Structure 1
Amino acid sequence: MNTTVNEANARLKVAISEAAQRLRNAMREATTGLIDRDHLAELMILAAVAQEHVLVIGPPGTAKSAVVRRVAQSLGGQYFEYLLGRFTEPAELFGPVNLNKLREGTVETDIAGMLPEAEIAFLDEVFLGSTAILNSLLGLLNERQFRRGHTRIRCPLRICVGAANDLPDDEGLAAFADRFLLHVFIDSVPDARLEDLLEGGWQMNRRQVNAYADLASLDVLNRAVPLVDMNAIRSDLAQAIRQLRQANISLSDRRIVKAQQLIAAATVLAGRQIASKADLWPLIYVIPTAMGQRNAREILRDTLAHAQHPLLHAVVEVASQQPMARLGRLLETADQLLAETDTANKVKPVEALLREIDANFDQSSMPETLQARRQQLMGLLEAN
Structure 2
Amino acid sequence: MSTAILSAPFQAEFDANSQEFAFAGVIRPRSVDEIAHSISALRHAIEQARGVLYINVKRLAQMNNTAFHAFSRVVLDACRTRSDIRFVVVTSSVVGWTERMFRHLGKIEPQITVEVYDSKFYPGQSFVEDTSFIPILRTQTKMTWRHERTILPRHGMRAGIHMADICCGIGDFAVLVRKEFQPARIVALDHSKASLAYARDVAANFGISDIEYTYGDASEMLLEDNQFDLVTCRHSLQIFNQPDLLLKELYRICKPGGRVYITNEKNSHCLGEPRSQSIQWTYNEVAKLFGHFEMDVELGPKSRRYLADAGFNDIRVESFMVTNLDGDPQDFADVITAWENVYAGEMAVKRGDPPEFIERFRQGFRDHIFAALHPKGYAGWPIWAASGRKPL
Specify the structure having the higher radius of gyration (Cα).
2
Q: In proportion to residue count, which structure has more helix?
A: 1
Higher relative contact order (CA 8 A, sep 6+): 1
Q: In proportion to residue count, which structure has more strand?
A: 2
